[in-house]
Amino acid sequence: MNFPLLSSLIILPTIGAIFILFGRSSTNYNSAKYISLFITFTNFVLSLYLWYTFDKTNSDFQFVEERIWLEGFINYKVGIDGISILFIILTTFITFLCVISVNSTVQNRLKDFLLAILFMETMMIGVFCSLDLVIFYLFFEAGLIPMFLIIGIWGGQRRVYSAFKFFLYTLLGSVLMLVAIISIYWMTGTTDVIELYQIGIDPRYQNLLWLAFFSSFAVKTPMWPVHTWLPDAHVEAPTVGSVLLAAILLKMAGYGFIRFSVGLFPIASEYFVPLVFGLSLIAILYTSFVALMQEDMKKLIAYSSVAHMGFVTMGIFTMTSQGIEGSIFQMISHGIISAALFLCVGVVYERMHTREINKYGGIISVMPRYAVVFMVFTLGALGLPGTTGFIGEFLILLGTFKVNFLVATIASIGVILGAAYMLWLYRRVVFGEIKNPEVNKLTDLNRSEMLILSTLAFVSILFGFYPDPLISTTSASVEGLIELFTTNIKIYTASNL
Amino acid sequence: MEKLIIFLPLLAAIISGFFGKIVGNKPSQLITSLFVSISALLSIYVFYNVTIFDYSNNIVIAKWITSGDLDVNWSIKIDQLSAIMLVVVTLVSAIVHVYSIGYMSHDPHQPRFMSYLSLFTFAMLVLVTSDNFLQLFFGWEGVGLCSYFLIGFWFKKSTANAAAIKAFLVNRVGDFGFALGIFLVFYIFGTVNYEDVFNQVTIYKDDNLKFLGLEFNVINLICFLLFIGAMGKSAQIFLHTWLPDAMEGPTPVSALIHAATMVTAGVFLVVRCSPIYEFSPLILNFITVIGMFTALFAASVALVQNDIKKIIAYSTCSQLGYMFFATGVGAYNVAMFHLFTHAFFKALLFLGAGSVIHSFNDEQDINKMGGVFKHLPYTYTLMIIGTLALTGFPFLSGFYSKDLIIEFAYLKGNTVGFYACSIGIFTAVLTSIYSWRLIFKTFHGEYNNQTQSISSMHESPAVMLAPLIILAFGSILAGFVFKDLFMGYGSFSNFWEGSIFFLEPLTKEHPPAYIIYLTPILVTISIPFSYYIFLKNKSFIEGIVNSNKPIYLFLKNKWYFDELYEVLFVRSSKFLGKYFWKKIDGLVIDRFGPDGLSSLFKYFSIKAIKFQSGFIYQYAFVMLIGFSLILTIIIVK
């Protein structure tokens, strides 16, 4: 590989951001907007090209680039495998759509807003291709800063409280991860992920290290009981902020579980399976019940995100190919569907300036096109076959069933509840007679909203009927990971006999 | 050709759904009706090939999911079973499409309605032609979705929306069992394709599985879980509550989805899985019991309802019960036979009821009808035919299929079979009574409608009556003509070989003559009896109602299932949601988590601020204490 494709993906948004920052026109927002559109689109195309040239049959890391940063200590090392590539495409895709939708959702300081988005894209792509723990940590944490700013500056009335809560939770988790990374370096002398996969980490310390990583990922997923920052953050964040948060930021944790928790600490991962299953089950059922009673549209979707991510964590720790592939699929699917749902809420919020469900009702009469796309995503969220939501949930439950009947059975109840809260939301917002005279003034989707939402709907249905491109991309790497996991377990049990 | 059968309705749905505004009302009605009719003709052709030339086929269209050892295709499987279902689905669907042109003529959303109908037809076809459990599940949820759309078609009506959600959720409960069944099938057999699964059943039939500390036979467990799904879709007792409410939808929908096709999917599932069910006598008995209870329960409720559509809905529920207990006693072909004949006469009854409702300007209460048989001669005659067929009047279609079910229950020879047989006969009598009650109250007696005059009564247009006539022919002839085919008599003795599995060949014996003649005689006697109690001597029935008020109320309120479920599931879920949200999230996690932490820091920082008072004597005092403490420690050591 001669051309540093991954580094270009990472650095391009930052270059764009610099251009915008030093651009002469401080009043004319159009140039900033066009630069970001151009940059994010180029990045999206580049990532598709990356997917096209990517070798699906190979489970090794590809496009690896390595540069020495601190001699003998930290190297800048990036590379991708079948697990990470889909997340990169998701990131570039969603960011591009966000930039398109941005002019209508943010009124003031558009330039700074675009800066934050571009900077965040750099960080998120960085997270998904880092092959060095320190580099990963840097990207992982730096990604919080733009999000923190987006909530804190462009958020709603209680934005400061939400931003603080968001930061407090995520930072506390991450500090432990940093400690763990340092101790890994002292134990093995390297922070290179590929090398660590080969060396393996001393089983005696795995449990502690696993917990340290877990505390960071669990907060970001978020898992019960550290989920309470998410509803608040979503409610206060502007639409684009919610979209990025739900679609991509949450996925960093799921990705982290697969890449680091399972990959680096297989024995501890095996040990903590009951913990993860327990917390996931609580997340699925508990937040589904909570979602049922929400009066705020965004909060409802935020709680449903927690439930969906509960499926993801459960699937990963089944250590079966269906479970892990299902989890990856579910994350991509949730990235698309939750992004679309938050955009849908944004559409009516912009027109009515309220997110309270009771203020709506009957909008199908005035916004028929909106009713159709919203229905598609509602169905996706409740996991109807033919949408991506079904494939993810189905594979996860199938994988879980192989490992533990009881867990799979209980988790399946979440599927019933999911249908309940989503359909009830839809009914209260879209169906019925118009009670609030404000609703009569609503206008249907404009062209750019229609473009964005129908693209997302198309993707969600396309991969619901034909998921093979996504699943086959991941399968070789997932098999590789499972093999790594099982050999580690075998060696460990053999040595303990 | 098989692809055309399945994809024409989809194409029709897309055209009238997305381009309905562009092509207009009439063209979208014509396109959908035409496409589905072509599909129906092709299905009949396929059915002909299957019956005469033993044609069968399994077309793989595309890969769907491949993950690890899971491998699922989109496919079209044509065998005897799916060929019959193809005919039933497309034929009734085409008839309902044409009927809807007349019935929905005043509705502002006609293209949308036609689109849903066609989409439903597509999903149902996907369901019946699947060659694996997962595609079946896709169709299963797909028809559920279309049913949700169509029940809630009049989206401004709050009751319609509630009914739509209820239908979807109750079905989801069934699907929960069904999905677990599929997981278990995959876990045991390593595949979800019918053929591979059915071939391995004998290998695993004695395997046990530990679940919650109890041991279960795997085949029993699979059968049980799949049957939960079937109970949901086919509205069997405990999961039946959605079906009567589903009558909120437009009447053509009730005829197509909630009588002839979708609700029979559960029966189809059990018949399709006969190679598994045959190895689970326990669950077969369970199915018989559920089936006969449903038949009895629904018939008892139908006796006292006043909404014309709800009566027919409970009747459907009851007939589905018959089909299930037929499968339960191992007479899968008889169940299919009843499914087949039932599609004709029940669709006829629903569409006839639709015609009545249409004439009465959307009135559904039979107490507000009466005395109009002279004004609605065609509808009246057609309804009579439907009722005769349903009640099993000799030589109409219901007579053949229903009596066979009762006979086979008797021939089963065990206790469950005898109970099923006697309950079957008793329910047949109830069926006859409530059906004739409907006819007499609707068409005979005095005219009871206050809102419009009897002279304004008008017969429905030809576009609505013509479809009914086709169905009437079906109701009269389907039993007699197809009896040999379904029962494997004469030249059709091997008809079911490729698609239904019988562990022991079906008995060719006949039950004693009194069993055979009992039902038709009772059913026929019920006609004058109903005439007497519902028209001639109304005080008789009032007397019974008044002296048995509690029983009457119990039936009237549908055995209080809705009220029970409201408390058990709806309210408790809402309570839990509120409790988790306000108490645990708010008062525990946030209070001791981030909020607690921040107030803790605040508390200490306020203390620390107070410490820095700026007075030298205070600092000196603290230093003094410090010094003395250190000194003390050193000295003590």
C-alpha B236: how far from its chain's center? 8
Cα dihedral B477, B480, B483, B484, rounded to 10, equals: -120
Integer-rounded Cα radius of gyration of chain B: 31
Q: Which tokens belong to B420? A: 């099923």
Q: Measuring CA to CA, how many Å separate B635 from each of B609, B622, B630?
A: 33, 20, 9
Task: Decide if B405 contacts B326 (C-beta within 8 A).
Answer: yes
Does residue A222 have a cis bond before it (omega within 30 degrees)? Answer: yes
Close Cβ partners of B574 (under 8 Å, ≥ 6 residues apart): A292, A293
Has residue B452 got a pLDDT over 90?
no
Sequential DSSP letters for B496-540: TTTT---SSPPP-----HHHHHHHHHHHHHHHHHHHIIIII-HHH
Identify whether A108 is part of a domain. Answer: no
The pLDDT value given to residue A106: 62
Say what the pLDDT of residue B581 is: 79
Q: Which two tokens stand for residue B629?
A: 């403490």
Stronger pLDDT, B317 or B567, i.e. the higher one: B317
Distances from the Cα of A224 to the Cα of A217, A295, B259, B595, B608, angstroms: 12, 21, 45, 17, 34
Contact at CB, A431 and B577, closer than 8 angstroms = no
Q: Which residues pair with A387 in a beta bridge?
A: A385
pLDDT at A277 over 90: yes
What pLDDT score does A278 carry? 93
Outline where DSSP puts E strands in A320-478.
none
pLDDT at A24: 61
**What pLDDT score was predicted for residue A104?**
57
Name the minimum distance, in Å, from the CA of A108 to any CA of chain B: 30
**Cβ neighbours for B585, distance < 8 A, ≥ 6 positions apart:** A228, A290
Q: Using 50, 70 and 90 to split pLDDT, how confident is the model at A374? A: very high
User: pLDDT tens digits, residue range B487-540?
Assistant: 877 777 777 877 788 877 777 777 787 777 888 888 888 888 888 888 777 777
What is the rounded distance in angstroms from the CA atom of residue B531 to the CA atom of residue B466?
Answer: 29
- A146 lies in a domain? no
> Hey, which residues 307-336 in chain A have their CB within 8 Å of chain B?
320-322, 325-326
User: The dihedral of CA A317, A320, A326, A329: what is its sign?
Assistant: positive
pLDDT, mean of residues A374-403: 91
Contacts of A228 in chain B (CB under 8 A): 585, 589-590, 593-594
The helix-helix angle for B377-391 and B415-443 (nearest 10°) equals 170
Q: CA-to-CA distance for B530 and B202, rounded, in angstroms?
A: 51
- Rounded to a whole number, what is the distance in Å from the CA of B497 to chain A's nearest CA? 32
Q: Is residue A252 part of a domain?
A: no
Residue pair B168/B48 in contact (Cβ under 8 Å)? The answer is no
Report the domain count for chain A. Answer: 1
One-letter amino acid for residue A244 of the chain: L
Select, from the ranges A422-436, B30-44, B457-471, the one with the highest average predicted confidence (pLDDT): B30-44
Are B594 and A228 an interchain contact pair (Cβ–Cβ within 8 Å)?
Answer: yes
pLDDT score recorded for residue A29:
67
Inter-CA distances, A416 with A412, B149, B180, B541, B573, Å = 7, 18, 13, 44, 12
> Is residue A229 scored above 90 in pLDDT?
no
Instruction: Please give the C-alpha separations between residue B370 and each of B103, B367, B431, B525, B532, in angstroms, as whole numbers.
Output: 22, 7, 20, 23, 16
Write the pLDDT tens digit of every residue in A356-370: 888 888 888 888 888
Q: What is the pLDDT of residue B512?
A: 80
Closest residue in A to B66 (Cα–Cα) = A468
The domain in which residue A370 lies consists of 272-465
3-state DSSP assignment of residue B74: strand
Averaged confidence pLDDT in chain B:
86
Residue A101 within any structural domain of the chain: no
The pLDDT of residue A27 is 58
Return the half-sphere exposure (C-beta side, CA atoms, 13 A cut-off) of residue A304. 34
Q: What is the DSSP string of B8-57?
A: HHHHHHHHHHHSHHHH-HHHHHHHHHHHHHHHHHHHHHHHHHHHHH---E
The residue of B7, B63, B65 whose CB has the most chain A CBs within 10 angstroms, and thus the best one to mutate to test that interface, is B65
Asked if A234 contacts A301 with a C-beta cutoff of 8 angstroms, the reply is yes
Q: Which residues contact A72 (CB under 8 A, 6 or more apart)?
A: none
User: Phi and psi at residue B115, in whole multiples of 5°?
Assistant: -60, -45
Identify the bridge partners of residue B66 per DSSP, sorted by sequence position: B71
pLDDT-derived band at A228, boundaries 50, 70, 90: confident
Q: What is the pLDDT of residues A323-350, one digit of tens each?
A: 999 999 999 999 999 999 999 998 888 8
What does the alpha-carbon distance between residue B418 and residue B285 come to, in Å, rounded to a whole number?
12
**Residue A106, helix vs strand vs coil:** coil
CA neighbor of B381 nearest in space, from B315, B460, B481 = B460
Instruction: Decide if A147 is inside a domain.
Output: no
pTM: 0.90
Which residues, numbered 155 to 174 in chain A, qualify as contacts with chain B under a Cβ-Cβ cut-off of 8 Å? Answer: 164-165, 168-169
Cα of A465 to nearest chain B Cα, Å: 7
Given CA atoms B411, B481, B391, B295 in this order, what sign does their dihedral have?
positive
CA distance A412 to A401: 10
Evaluate whether residue A166 is within a structural domain: no
Backbone angles phi, psi at B505, to 5 degrees: -60, 145
Could you read off the pLDDT of A20-53 as tens digits, one per residue?
888 765 556 677 788 888 889 999 999 999 889 8
Q: Average per-residue pLDDT in chain A? A: 87
Burial class (CB in 10 A: 0-12, 13-18, 19+), B441: buried
Question: Do residues A146 and A123 make contact, with C-beta atoms less than 8 angstroms apart?
Answer: yes
What's the rounded mean pLDDT across residues B373-384? 87
Residues 6+ apart with CB under 8 A from B416: B285, B288, B289, B328, B329
Rounded to the nearest angstrom, the minimum Cα separation between B575 and chain A is 9
Judge whether A476 lies within some domain: no
Residue of A nearest to B574 (CA): A293
Name, in order, each residue with C-beta under 8 angstroms of B609's C-beta and a sequence gap of 6 or more.
Answer: none
Please give the average per-residue pLDDT across B598-613, as a whole number. 78
Under DSSP, is residue B300 helix (H, G, I), strand (E, B) or coil?
A: helix
Q: Residue A26's pLDDT is what?
A: 56
Strand partners, B208: B217
Alpha carbon separation from B583 to A162, B348, B525, B589 (Å, rounded): 19, 55, 64, 9
Which one, of B220, B336, B337, B238, lies nearest residue B291 by Cα?
B238
Handedness of CA A342, A346, A347, A348 (dihedral sign): positive
CA–CA gap between residue B400 and residue B337 (Å, rounded): 9
Residue B609 CA from chain centroid, whole number: 70
Counting DSSP H helices and E strands in chain B, the numbers are: 28, 4
Look up residue B286 and give its two tokens: 């369970």
How far is B98 from B95, CA to CA, in rounded Å?
Answer: 5
Which residue of B63, B161, B179 is in closest CB contact with A412? B179
- The string over B93-128, giving b where at least 16 C-beta atoms fall within 10 Å of a residue's C-beta and e elsewhere, is bbbbbbbbbbbbeeeebbbbbbbbbbbbbbbbbbbb
* Percentage of chain A lying above the pLDDT 70 cut: 97
Closest-CA residue of B relative to A384 is B141
Is 90 exceeded by the pLDDT of residue B593? no
Question: Tell me, what's the ipTM?
Answer: 0.88
Q: Is A175 within 8 Å of chain B by CB?
A: no
Closest of B48, B262, B44 to residue B145, by C-alpha: B262
CA distance B325 to B322: 5
- Residue A128 in any domain: the answer is no
The continuous run of DSSP H or E covering A79 comes out as strand A74-80
- Alpha carbon B304 to its chain's center: 22
User: Which two structure tokens, joined as six digits, stand for A76?
Assistant: 């800048």
| φ, ψ dihedrals at B210, nearest 5° | -95, 130
Name the nearest CA neighbour of B146 among B172, B179, B176, B168. Answer: B168
- C-alpha to C-alpha distance for B428 and B97, rounded to whole angstroms: 31
Mutual orientation of helices A388-403 and A297-316 as an angle, nearest 10°? 40
Q: Which tokens hold the place of A229?
A: 């920052």
Tell whether A477 is within 8 A of chain B (Cβ): no
Residue A464 has pLDDT above 60, yes or no: yes
Contacts A–B by Cβ distance under 8 A:
141
Inter-chain touch A325–B68, beta carbons under 8 Å: yes
